Amino acid sequence: MFGGNWQWRAFFGLITLFVALPLLNSSMAKPAWQVLLAGPSLAETGKRKGAVSAQNRAWYLVTRNAYVKPVHEKSKLPWQQQPGQWPEIDISKLFNF
């Protein structure tokens, strides 16, 4: 533990938090356009279940707005089979920590 001035400890703690945040949760630290292009991950494998859930949570939070789907309705995103095709994701599984 750092045993110096409490103001310096608070400063370094805050800096460490902001530096570590993208490393701890990389999918939520991405810009919305990158999350939208990556799309949802519909696979549910055992080892990567946490990463898949984090990617789907980020995708849900980006696409829950009323304007995202209508604006991108005619364009085909890389993960879509057909333009305007949006998968349904069970919200109860996304936020079940």
- In tens, the pLDDT along 27-85 reads 667 888 888 888 887 666 666 777 777 788 888 888 888 888 889 888 888 888 888 88
- Cβ 39 vs Cβ 56: under 8 Å: no
Q: How confident is the model at residue 4 (pLDDT cuts 50, 70, 90)?
A: confident
Cα distances from 69 to residues 1, 39, 50, in angstroms, run: 49, 13, 26
- CA 51, 42, 94, 67 dihedral sign is positive
Written as six digits, the tokens of 44 are 């549910």
| pTM beyond 0.75, yes or no | no
14: which 2 tokens? 């805050």
CA-closest candidate to residue 12, choices 27, 23, 24, 2: 2
Kindly list the domain boundaries of the chain, sorted by start residue.
26-94
